[in-house]
Structure 1
Amino acid sequence: MTLETIARPGSIEVDDLVPSRYALRVGDLEVLVISDGVLPLPTETMATNVDPAVRAAWFKDMFVGPDMFDWALNVLVVRSGNQTILVDAGLGGQFPGFPRAGQFPSRLEAAGIDLGSVTDVVITHMHMDHVGGLLVDDVKSRLRSDIRIHVSATEVAFWDAPDFSFTAMPTPVPDVLRSTAAEFIKEYRGNLLMFDEECEVAPGVVARLTGGHTPGHCVVHLNSGGERLTFAGDALFPVGFDHPDWHNGFEHDPEESVRVRVRLLREAAENGELLVATHLPFPSVGHVSVDGDAFRWVASFWDY
């Protein structure tokens, strides 16, 4: 994987009419953001602790909604030395009703990256839209048998008996999350490299436990040549800049999620790093600035 290779069109499917990958450098690290597609979700899941009228007004101002919106799914690929690292794996294609998600395998191939070249995977957390892609038969058959999968020990332990008492998800979702996490652990238990607080996956690539969204949720920090980027996973959603205190229905510990979110946003604003997150609109590359008691998202200008 080189920037020269992944920036070229390659073998794009006829119906892939919009950009689905974005390449950049962080010092010596080569980085690729890939869109896994979008999930249609109820707008109410984005703000469960506010008046519905206030929530509706925010979505109207953002020109989305009023009842449903498309939730972006972004996956990261990082090349550090001789390691090719996948950060999360998208939804996969085994869940009916989400035909526009689960695109990462074909889009990875279109970028000229062979799944067999992936040496490491970092799982920010074990929700189905982050591990489901690794459960696709055509993906499993092409991964290396010795692939290293980095995930926090707290996350693995949580899914033994997950607590959904503080979430506000659509009714069918918890059972699917449970079964998907169980299948993931069963399939890859021998490949899991579990860490406590943080783990250096490769030079310049560190996974760090944050908790909040799930007890074992982690983010991934890239640091090379004085340049920095953080992949925030599900610590951050589009509404989180204007209203970091609004709870998301998929957060297992909403109060802790707010603390994690504010801390990450303040860190990003202070050090000027780039920020990427799973559910920000693709390509989700930008900076954060402080705006009174809230924050402001400053999208990067595309360099192409």
Structure 2
Amino acid sequence: MKQEINMNQHNASYPVGSKPEELVPSRYALKVGEIDVLVVSDGVLPLPTIMLGHNAAPADRASWLHHMFLPPDAFDWALNAVMVRSGDKTILIDAGLGSDPDLHLPRAGQLIKRLEAAGIDLASVTDLVLTHMHMDHIGGLLVDGVKQRLRPDLRIHVAAAEVKFWEAPDFSHTNMPQGFPDALRATAKQFVKAYGSQLRPFDEEHEVAPGVVARRTGGHTPGHSVVRIASGGEALTFAGDAVFAVGFDQPDWHNGFEHDPEEAARVRIRLLRELAETGEMLVATHLPFPSVGRVAIDGDAFRWVPVFWDY
């Protein structure tokens, strides 16, 4: 792929012509101006369909699923993370699920393996940005042996409000499958214990590298953030969990993982309007891989327009 070759020219750790181990592609490279971006799949997360909109009437939810040719009871949510190279910094945005055997999610937690397959040395990562501290965004760094392979001076950027929230998280407005709240609490606690000295909290906005800016949105969690990558008149926003697949057609539906679902809906609508106005690209954690697309206004709702893959 042309873009991957360009990335190789910047860093020999991105090999050209490495033999693929999987038939289904798990990474997609593109350029945003002069910034290299690589979307990497962490796998898929099977979840009940009620999680898409627990405030929606069951018949309306069933109708949307039927319209989208999706199964009625449960389907696989994509899990995407992003690698960015800007200047002398190599930035990982979110770290995937890792491993939680109690939740029986064997097809998720693939990020570390797939970074290795892309020829990316974990020791080359200078910065990590967390959109929030749900376990499918931090768990990859808790896999055995990973911390020892990371730089001891790795900087982990996360909103201060997010760190504060997980000291005593409120799950009263969420609607999650059994076992998830306990797993989320335990993983966040373990993460802070393991990496607390490397956290670099920011209040509302922080430039991680030239053209790479993290901005707190709140909503999904109090410290949920998005990351905008901009260079040479082009831009891409990694929206984390601000946007789900159903959120274009039904932006007011409440996702089961949202700790403040009403605020999350306001954040989602505001972000989608911004992206529709600017025409900038969007990537999000749970949009179908590779998740790169744009947003259009469609009456009272929105429409996701996937980019044409560039091979």
Q: Is TM-score (shorter-chain normalized) higher than 0.5? A: yes
- Runs ≥4 in structure 1, deviation > 2 angstroms? 1-9, 93-96
Aligned to 2:77, the other structure's residue is in SS state strand
- The aligned counterpart of 2:93 is 87
Q: Could you state the TM-score of these two structures normalised by the residue count of structure 2?
A: 0.95
**Residues 2 and 118 of structure 1: is their aligned pair in 2 closer, same or farther, counting only changes over 3 Å?**
farther
Aligned to 1:23, the other structure's residue is in SS state strand
CA contact (8 A) 2:5 2:16 kept: no
- The aligned counterpart of 2:208 is 201
* TM-superposed deviation, 1:112: 1.2
Alignment of 1:39-188 (within 5 A): 39-96=45-102, 97-188=104-195
Q: Deviations over 1:121-155 (max 9, x none)?
A: 00000000000001011321210111000000000
Q: Deviations over 1:102-124 (max 9, x none)?
A: 11111111111100100000000
Q: Deviations over 1:31-56 (max 9, x none)?
A: 00000000100001111111111101
Task: Report the RMSD for the aligned CA atoms in angstroms.
Answer: 1.2
Asked if 1:12 is matched to 2:20, the reply is: yes
- Counterpart CA distance in 2 for 1:214 and 1:222 is 22
Q: Specify the code of the residue in structure 1 equivalent to 2:76.
A: D
- Counterpart CA distance in 2 for 1:11 and 1:145 is 31
- Counterpart CA distance in 1 for 2:5 and 2:185 is 37
- Counterpart CA distance in 2 for 1:235 and 1:59 is 20
* TM-superposed deviation, 1:9: 4.6
Asked if 1:291 is matched to 2:302, the reply is: no
Q: Could you state the TM-score of these two structures normalised by the residue count of structure 1?
A: 0.97
**Residues 112 and 261 of structure 1: is their aligned pair in 2 closer, same or farther, counting only changes over 3 Å?**
same
Residue identity over aligned pairs, in percent, reads 68
- The aligned counterpart of 1:35 is 41
- Counterpart CA distance in 2 for 1:51 and 1:133 is 35
Aligned to 1:141, the other structure's residue is in SS state helix
- Counterpart CA distance in 2 for 1:63 and 1:35 is 22
Q: Specify the code of the residue in structure 2 equivalent to 1:12.
A: P
